[in-house]
Amino acid sequence: MGAKMLESLRKAVYDANMELNARNLVIYSFGNVSGIDRKSGIVAIKPSGVPYGKLSPENIILVNVADGKTLEGTLWPSSDTPTHLEIYRNFPEIGGITHSHSKFATVFAQAGFHIPCQGTTHADYFYGDIPLTRKLKKMEIERDYELNTGKVIVEKVRKSNREAIEIPAVLVAGHGPFTWGKTPEEAVEHAVILEYVAEMALHGLRLNNMSSSLEDTLLDRHFLRKHGKNAYYGQNK
């Protein structure tokens, strides 16, 4: 991978991290965004514990997707790097991943609830309920915790009967949300929308204890008009 491509990847991941912060989905040094160049197998990710005000494209860390070894950068990569890498290794259609502790999505994760698809705003981005992983077992927490976090995410996506890109978000039980997309920028967009629909879902549940999901016909219509093979939403027709 050439120097220009590395610079471009780093800049895209830096911009996505800064957007995550600008959208108030993280505080202090919480959260992280990564991106991958599939041809080279290089992942760019936020360094661990660095506040967003001190972040720069130059201190974005480059690691190998196969084994997580640092290829370039003097700082430690995010402690969540093994989680990101496990998702990338299992879903080749994913080009960017975001992890935050955004308030409303994390409320669902901590309470142990999935986010039900109650309306078309949700269905425009997520093809059904936002799933919740199982709790990690004691041994999974004590040994290779971050890697096992990625494994339970992958496990949940595989059991959802959807493609990863169709429901680009999972809540990790007791922890918080991970979202993804074809690019780091899109992964952040999905994190923003996830927080928006999580807040609406929580209010909906409070208002009338709604537990039913949006009917399948309307869910299909809204998701597929944007993301299906015959999509007609937007200008790229």
Q: Is 88 an active-site residue?
A: no
Catalytic entry in 28, 145, 232, 233: 233
Distance CA 155, CA 105 (A): 20
Q: Is 220 an active-site residue?
A: no
Residues in the chain: 237
Catalytic entry in 15, 124, 144, 220: 124
Residues that are catalytic: 124, 233
